[in-house]
Amino acid sequence: MIRTLLSLVLVLFTLIPFAAATMIDGPTVITAPGTYQLTSDVVGADRDAAIEIIASNVVLEGGGHVLAGTSARDIPGILIRTERGTGPADVVVRNLTVKDWTYGVHALGASHLVLENVTSVGNREHGLYLFAVSNSTIRSCRVEQNEGSGIVLSDVSHDNVVEQNTVVRNRQNGLMLIASDRNHLTGNTVRENGAFGIDCYLTKENLIADNLFFNTNNTHVEELDRNTWSFPRSAGPNIAGGPEKGGNYWGEPGGGGFSDLTPDANGDGFCDSPFVIYEGNMDSLPLKGEGTSRPTPTSASGPAAIVAILAIVAVTLAVRWR
């Protein structure tokens, strides 16, 4: 009985968000608020993108489908922009893959944008490119093997959250900040990127903490950059699996990273010395690695929590229906 009820609850939770959705099965320009649901993979584009969003209060639910580019045209897979005046606000894009475009997702002037569970792979330039975007969130995305950088915040992008993303094997940088302030970059795994793990240029008041950096060159910071590179010491676990949060894990493929080489004599999970990145930029609580062993990033508990909630609902219904 409980198993049957749980199955019903799962079906209901799946259907409810899409009950009033507009279905999309090809290149589309979204000009009105609402919920839009991809019903199939999309190959090719309209004039400016596979999906262009020029309205506020839009939810684009990908359903695990793929937006695939087919030509060398200089267009993104998803373009979020304004037609005139202020940029779009309160746009959510989630659960899809964008590949083989110029940019996977390009957002211009948006606010309160959410990109969640988006995979951006094999694009000719940046994976996720936010230009003059504010108060937005990039969460639980996978950005890999793009010819440019993985995630870019550019041109006065401020007060954004970039968290729990996996950014790997991009030809240029993993993360890049250009003239962008007061952003929080936390809990990201940034590995094996070609130029730098994180590249900063004219940035200040950004919090960059509890990230796992594992690149031949982890940082590029210039003299005018002034950022914070660690949390105050607090309960964990941290990105490297240790018991407390603080700064970042700094590893390198050859075992020569700061976290690899710096001792932790008291075994508290932090290096005994701070990591001076550049003048005005210091990780005061760098996380410790053990020689050539690599930490395993901690994973988000979101899906497990959802399953648990559904199970509780099902059990509650079963008791009531007895």
User: How does DSSP classify residue 17?
Assistant: G
Per-residue pLDDT, 316:
36
Per-residue pLDDT, 47:
86
pLDDT band at 161 (very low <50, low <70, confident <90, very high): very high
Tens of pLDDT, residue by residue over 69-99, are 977 778 999 999 987 767 899 999 999 999 9
Averaged pLDDT, 5-30: 70
Q: Identify which of 8-22, 60-74, 244-258 has the greatest average pLDDT.
A: 244-258
Q: What are phi and psi of 282, to 5 degrees?
A: -140, 130
Structure-block tokens of residue 165: 């993303």
Q: What are phi and psi of 160, to 5 degrees?
A: -105, 160
Per-residue pLDDT, 41:
96
pLDDT band at 223 (very low <50, low <70, confident <90, very high): confident
| pTM for the full predicted model | 0.84
Structure-block tokens of residue 63: 């359903």
By CB atoms closer than 10 A (0-12, 13-18, 19+), residue 240 is: buried
3-state secondary structure of 320: helix
Nearest alpha carbon to residue 197 among 211, 179, 182, 184: 211
pLDDT above 70 for 101 = yes
Structure-block tokens of residue 261: 């080489």
d(CA 44, CA 53): 16
pLDDT above 50 for 293 = no
Averaged pLDDT, 196-225: 96
- 241 within 8 A of 298, measured Cβ to Cβ: yes
pLDDT band at 304 (very low <50, low <70, confident <90, very high): very low
- 125 within 8 A of 151, measured Cβ to Cβ: no
Per-residue pLDDT, 3:
62
Neighbours of 48 (CB within 10 A): 17
Pairing mode, if any, of strands 58-68 and 226-228? unpaired
What number of CA atoms fall less than 13 Å from residue 256's CA on the CB side?
4
Per-residue pLDDT, 7:
58
Cα angle 78, 199, 156 (rounded to 5 degrees) comes to 60
pLDDT above 70 for 295 = no
Nearest alpha carbon to residue 192 among 172, 210, 209: 172
Per-residue pLDDT, 209:
98
Please enumerate in sequence order all residues whose Cβ is within 8 A of that of 177, keeping only pairs 6 or more positions apart, or say none.
Answer: 152, 153, 154, 183, 198, 199, 200, 201, 203, 206
Per-residue pLDDT, 1:
59
Neighbours of 217 (CB within 10 A): 15
Per-residue pLDDT, 86:
79
d(CA 90, CA 111): 7
Average pLDDT, the chain: 87
| Cα 117 to Cα 85, 143, 312, distances in angstroms | 29, 10, 25
